[in-house]
Amino acid sequence: MMNENDKTEILEPVETPAENITEPSKDGRKCPKWLLPLVAAVCAVILVVAGIIGWNAYSGAKLAEAKEACVTAADTVRNNANEYNALLNGDAADAAAVKAEQVKDSKTVESLGKELKASAPEYEGCVAENAQGLDAAAVKLNEQADWYETHEKSLSKAVRAVVESKAAKRLDDAKTNLTAKLDEASKLLADSDGKVADNATRDALSNAIDAANGLKDGNDPAKIDGARKTLEDAINGVNASVQAKTDADAQAAAAAAQAQAQAQSTYSGVSSYSGGAYGRTEGSTSGSNTYRGTTSGGSGPAAASAPKPNLNGAYGCTEDCYVPPNNLIQH
């Protein structure tokens, strides 16, 4: 048996609640067990707040980026549209006024007409309020910018084709007209030899022909047209000189004919004689008749000194009868 004095009280262990159990810290001090969940909760709150702040920052940056991209796309559309419209209202409008008969290739006019019928896209701009809407608007604006750029190039090509075709036809027409005028000038130069009032006009025509021959194969329609105009002026000068000589020759011929007619009229006036008839001379014998008279009805020494051949009884004369010129004897 045990001595009551030796008895010791055996105590059973008492369990302590878990939430009150503390763990020793690194420095050996014990911390309340509830502290760790509290710290974890605070950290979680901090993370959530940080996430929200970060998301808002990201969203704001994304929105700003989308706005910038949309604005850039809008600026590109405006620039491309301005270039297209400037061409459309300028050179393209001038080329559109060119007719098919004014160009060498009429297909160029048809192609330009098709380009002018293209419908430009409708500009909407950056009207969305979120990044997704702005991104979609930027995509559409970039497509519109591409449309303007593509059609500006194709329209410019069509306009250039019309302009070049018109220039080609003008050059061909200038060469054709000059060639025809050269043929006319060369023929006139040959036909007018000796038929002009002033031969300097033929020299000018010859020089114009030489100059035109030097330009007829050129590529400058303005110079070719100038050579043709010079030829026309030279041709007109020769024609005028030919006409002047023709008129002068006609006047000279008319004057000569008039002078000849007057001479013949004067010459035929030798039908008027003194006394108007043949008369018997006073004291004549054998009944002979003597012609007394002169040309133009005059009388005098000239008539007395005219030769008096013997007509051997002609016209009633037996001797010393006067015979008028050309035997113009009137009874």
pLDDT in the model for residue 284: 41
Give the residue from 170, 204, 233 where a domain finishes. 170
Cβ(43)–Cβ(58) under 8 Å?
Answer: no
Binned at pLDDT 50, 70 and 90, residue 328 comes out as: very low
Give the residue from 244, 267, 290 where a domain finishes. 267
119 with 212, same domain?
A: no
pLDDT in the model for residue 47: 64
How many Å separate Cα 230 from the centre of its chain? 21
Other beta carbons less than 10 A from residue 231's beta carbon = 23
Domain membership of residue 126 (yes or no) is yes
Binned at pLDDT 50, 70 and 90, residue 11 comes out as: very low
Q: Where are the beta strands (DSSP E) in the chain?
A: 23-24, 30-31
Alpha carbon distance 30, 230 (integer Å): 122
pLDDT in the model for residue 128: 80
161 with 89, same domain?
A: yes
Give the residue from 136, 170, 204 where a domain finishes. 170
Domain membership of residue 6 (yes or no) is no
Amino acid at residue number 145 = A
Domain membership of residue 213 (yes or no) is yes
Domain membership of residue 32 (yes or no) is no
Amino acid at residue number 65 = E
Domain membership of residue 41 (yes or no) is no
The overall pTM is greater than 0.75:
no
pLDDT in the model for residue 210: 96
201 with 242, same domain?
A: yes
pLDDT in the model for residue 127: 84
Other beta carbons less than 10 A from residue 289's beta carbon = 16
Domain membership of residue 1 (yes or no) is no
Binned at pLDDT 50, 70 and 90, residue 49 comes out as: low
In the chain, the number of structural domains is 3
Residue range 236-279, pLDDT digits in tens: 999 999 999 999 999 999 999 999 988 888 877 655 444 444 44
Q: For the chain, what is the largest distance between any 2 Cα atoms, rounded to a whole number of angstroms? A: 251
Residue-number span of the structural domain to which 282 is assigned: 272-331
Between 204 and 272, name the one with better pLDDT: 204
